[in-house]
Amino acid sequence: MRKAAFLFLGVVIVLYCLFPFLWTVITAVKPPEEVFSLPIRYLPRSLSVENFVDVFYKRPFSRYVINSLIVATGGTILTLALASLAAFKLRYMPVQRALMLQRWLLVGAIVPPTLLVIPVFVVIRALGLINNPLGLILSYSFLNLPFGIWMLYAAFSRIPRELDEAAMIDGLWWGGILLRVILPLARAALAVSAALIFIFCWNEFLIALTLMPDQLHYTVPVGISMLSGASIYEIPWGQINAAVTITTVPVILIVALLQRWIVEGLTAGAVKG
């Protein structure tokens, strides 16, 4: 009885959380004329791929997806590369000093990105990187570095120092120690950080809109916000929902792919072993 109640509560909570997403998917697969039918149809009478086809054929949506993939992948890789170097250096500092630096990094992570839009824009413009994916990649790694360093330092500092020393005696230089010893041992933390940073870059809207005003360079969230109908009074809800549905696919894929590591990374150190 108690178990059944627990299960029921679980299902309700899951449905409540998933409802907006389910509604998005349902709207996306409805034939366009059914979207506003009254009374509301919770399940479509027939499934239609028309909205998906329209998004890709009537709009440059594939272009947006490619832009987003470039920016998110680049941002993630650059962030993790810089964060590994920083966390590796912190590992060799006296703990007190490393922790103090970390606390300052946390301050950087707390500042809302919205506040930084204008300074970031000024810097990127000065670098001549407006409408250049590199500008967005640089901005994203700048915003995510504190988080990345934090995650990786926590993981690195659990690795015994003797391993570095054994590696030094075996003839590895510091880059080799980082690549062949430390990073493989911190792979859980790397996976978690990669997933979270990728999702941040993938979903980010405001900076992408600011730094990439040219339609050719829209990322997915910006592209979706710019979808419009034949007139400004017509909003193509079906297409928008189809686009949103497509957008979530890589995020789900990444989480599914890295799930094992993410769980390990989030619980690391919780239990001795």
Partner 1 sequence: MGGRVIALKDVTLEIPHGKFVTVLGPSGCGKSTLLRVVAGLERPSSGQIYIGDRVVNELAPGKRNVAMVFQNYALYPHMKVYENIAISLRLRGLSAPEIRGKVAEVAGMLGIERLLDRYPRQLSGGQQQRVALARALVREPEVFLLDEPLSNLDAQIREQTRSELKRLFKDLGATVIYVTHDQAEAMSMSDIVVVMEAGEVRQVGTADTIYRDPRHRFVAEFVGMQRINILEGDLKDGSFVSMDESVVISLPTSQQGRVSLGIRPEAIHMGKGMGVDLIAEVTHIEPLGPNKTIFVKIGTNELKVLVGADFEAQIGDTLNITFSPKDIYLFDAQSGRRIYVG
Residues binding partner 1 (CB under 8 A)? 94, 160, 162-163, 165-173, 176, 180-181, 184-185
For partner 1, the closer of residues 105 and 188 by Cβ is 188
For partner 1, the closer of residues 182 and 243 by Cβ is 182
Min dist. Cβ of residue 160 to partner 1 (A): 7
For partner 1, the closer of residues 181 and 255 by Cβ is 181
Min dist. Cβ of residue 93 to partner 1 (A): 12
Min dist. Cβ of residue 189 to partner 1 (A): 14
For partner 1, the closer of residues 159 and 255 by Cβ is 159
**In whole angstroms, how far apart are CA 64 and each of 46, 247, 261?**
29, 10, 29
Min dist. Cβ of residue 79 to partner 1 (A): 23
Sign, CA dihedral 245-250-251-255, equals: positive
For partner 1, the closer of residues 33 and 165 by Cβ is 165
For partner 1, the closer of residues 159 and 206 by Cβ is 159
Min dist. Cβ of residue 261 to partner 1 (A): 13
Min dist. Cβ of residue 184 to partner 1 (A): 5
